[in-house]
Amino acid sequence: MNSYLVPLEEARFVLRELADLDRVAQLPNAESLADAELTESILTEASRLAEGILEPLNATGDRDGARWTAEGVTVTPGFKDAYRQFIEGGWNRLSMPTEYGGQGMPMLLSAAVREIFVGANKAFCMCPGLTDAAVHALMLGADDALKAYYLPRLVSGEWAATMNLTEPQAGSDVGALRTRAVPAADGTYRVFGQKIFISFGDQDLTDNIVHLVLARVAGAPEGSRGVSLFVVPKFLPQQGWQGARNDVQCAGIEHKVGNHGSPTCTMVYGAAGEGAVGWLVGEENKGLQTMFVMMNQARFIVGMEGVALSERAYRQALAYAGERLQGRAAEGSAQPVPIIRHPDVRRMLLSMRSQTEAMRALGYVLAGALDLADGHPDPMVRQEYQDFVDLMIPIFKGWASETAVEVTRTSVQIHGGMGYVLESGASQPLRDVLIAPIYEGTTGIQANDLIARKVLRDGGASLNRWLEQVDRTQTEAAAQPALEDLASSLGEAVASVRLVAQWFAQAHRERPLDVFAAAVPFLKLAGIVAGGWLMARAALAASRLLDATDASESESFLRGKLVSARFYAAHVLPQTGALAVAAMQGSAATLDEWALKV
């Protein structure tokens, strides 16, 4: 029922034709990408694990989620064994540093692999995903002693890690946190406070759990400038295997709409009185800086969750539509036909598919850009990619997560009454992805970041550089008769982005609130254009490969890609007109003093 067919042909195509594969492959540690066969075999092996081990546990996790007792959290039956196989295969450490046992793969490849795993079982992937993030935070901020002790065990997967930011009064505004850290005589700290929404804050998968905790040292400045980062392990370090229990407890887990296999914990530090023992990572009051450096990656990963769950939902809906017999075909048939033959079901499937492909394309392109921004030998080139990444991350995170909600909901609709029944599995992608537009910064937060830090701060320079790339693609497509409609839709959509950006440039001084009220419509507009840009590039590549004699893609794949691009041009790109109007003319009503009085 829940078959998850990993789109390998699509992954290969996007890697090669859209993402900067050749350029990324020249980076240090990127040999795996240079070797097409190796890339292929990694993707194939990942798919095998995903289909064989993770996928069968996805519905189990939904039905039989993590459970809390006073002794601790137990995960879904089967997760333990899957985790063992996952780390034995080294899948947890694809993008972890080689000096601690990781594989140091480029993001471009690990992102493709991650999509496969998350599509098969998002809840399971939260645990290794957070450990991956914590490893990168420690690499950035921790001293050698902390690194030497924690990194080998985290990289091996023997231990897992968590990220502790949110508190009841400190969600989007992390700087409002109140957890305290009191310096102790031995150079460690004692941590007191409560954190909420901590994924895998407790579990029985690993022998130890390493909590990265944001807290405030006594006397620190208010707000985000007074936040420090600490390592607080569940079991304290000790010669030999495992030390004493630290003063950190999981006080409960949330009952959620989805992600049942991933325990969302309330963590209490220092309840026993003495405080939880913590070690400072980096300098005092610089905790958020370390977190911010990781933020691009974290937000990128949430965008990829949107891609993965959209793909999963699409595959489920496609399979169902091919099997479910109901109604006669419009052209007249004696027997019931599979519903995939009904025009509106096709429309829904293509709307899922074309948007998922557009999102994936942007995800991979961004992954390659993250690699190049990080590792290219030429600092000018690094900066160029960094500018692109900084601009595009909030767009990708916001647009892909919001679009994924729409795409996964369409799958429920295609399933009809069965979509509403939990056992069919049709609603799980929607329920699992509904948190994506919220965590790691809501869509509103992404949009404010986009406007204030990415568009207005540099006077639109990086936005314009990207739009010039879009123009080039648009010109190229306009030269091909078969892609004229696509080019024309894309041209109008790009013009909308420019129009709104110009309006921002004028409006933000006199009416800054108007600009912020327009931020999300602009983000969606930019996301749709980014997707359209890459669908146009994909269509250009597919056209070329259809004429080539040595294309490795099948004809049906390439023609399908052209159809997706045309569908996107007719159904998705035109939405940009309304978003531009909403952005430029919609703020007055939003901010009207009478707006929300009743």
| Cα 476 to Cα 489: distance, rounded to the nearest angstrom | 14
Q: Is 571 in the site for a copy of itself (CB under 8 A)?
A: yes
> Considering only residues 81, 344, 468, 484, which one is a binding residue for a copy of itself as defined by CB under 8 A?
344
Q: Three-class SS string for 500-521? A: HHHHHHHHHHHCHHHHHHCHHH
Say how many residues touch a copy of itself, by CB under 8 A: 99
| 482 near a copy of itself, judged by CB under 8 A | no
Shortest distance (Å) from residue 450 CB to a copy of itself:
12
Question: Does position 331 bind a copy of itself by CB under 8 A?
Answer: yes
Residue 148 makes contact with a copy of itself by CB under 8 A? no
Q: Is 555 a catalytic residue?
A: no
Sign of the dihedral defined by the CA atoms of residues 86, 87, 91, 93, in that order: positive
Site string for a copy of itself, 426-445 (x = CB under 8 A): -x---x--xx-xxx--xxx-
Q: Is 586 in the site for a copy of itself (CB under 8 A)?
A: yes
**Residue 437 C-beta: closest distance to a copy of itself, Å:** 6
CB 251 within 8 A of CB 268: yes
Q: Smallest gap, in angstroms, from Cβ of residue 517 to a copy of itself?
A: 4
Which one of 327, 384, 478, 499 is in contact with a copy of itself (CB under 8 A)?
327
Mask for 287-326, x = binds a copy of itself (CB under 8 A):
-------------------------------x------xx
Q: Is 559 in the site for a copy of itself (CB under 8 A)?
A: yes
In 7-159, the DSSP E strands lie at: 67-69, 72-74
Our CB check for a copy of itself shows the closer of 141 and 201 to be 201
Please tell me whether residue 359 binds a copy of itself under the rule CB under 8 A: no
CB 175 within 8 A of CB 444: no
The CA-based dihedral angle spanning residues 359, 364, 367, 369, taken in that order and rounded to the nearest 10 degrees: -100
What is the Cα–Cα distance from 590 to 583, expressed in whole angstroms? 11
CB of residue 137 to a copy of itself, shortest distance in Å:
21
Q: Which stretch binds a copy of itself (CB under 8 A): 15-23, 126-134, 179-187, 583-591?
A: 583-591
* Nearer Cβ to a copy of itself (136/315): 315
Cβ-contact 193, 159 below 8 angstroms: no
What is the residue type of 552?
A: S
Among the listed residues 158, 440, 484, 555, the single catalytic one is 440
- Binding of a copy of itself by 225 (CB under 8 A): no
Instruction: Read off the DSSP letter of residue 373.
Output: H
Handedness of CA 219, 220, 221, 223 (dihedral sign): negative
Residue 574 as a binder of a copy of itself (CB under 8 A): the answer is yes
When the beta carbons of 501 and 519 are compared against a copy of itself, the nearer one is 519
Nearer to a copy of itself, 48 or 559 (CB): 559
Distance CA 517, CA 507 (A): 12
For a copy of itself, the closer of residues 49 and 426 by Cβ is: 426
CA distances in angstroms from 246 to 165, 182, 199, 272, listed in the order given: 19, 15, 19, 10
Closest Cα partner for 254 from 205, 197, 211, 200? 197
**Dihedrals phi, psi of 477, to nearest 5 degrees:** -70, -35
Binding to a copy of itself in span 236-255, by CB under 8 A:
254-255
Asked if 457 is part of the footprint of a copy of itself (rule: CB under 8 A), the reply reads no
Q: Applying CB under 8 A, which of residues 61, 171, 201, 270 lies at the interface with a copy of itself?
A: 171
Closest CB 378 distance from a copy of itself, rounded Å = 38
Rounded Cα distance between 320 and 512, Å, is 48
Residue whose tokens read 């056209």: 543
Q: Is 548 in the site for a copy of itself (CB under 8 A)?
A: no
Cβ contact 175:288 at 8 Å = yes
Is 598 one of the binding residues for a copy of itself (CB under 8 A)?
Answer: yes
Q: Which C-beta is closer to a copy of itself: that of 76 or that of 443?
A: 443
With residue 317 as reference, give the H or E element that holds it: helix 287-323
Provide the token pair at 136: 């990168």
Looking at beta carbons only, is 41 or 169 nearer to a copy of itself?
169
For the annotated catalytic residues, the residue numbers are 440
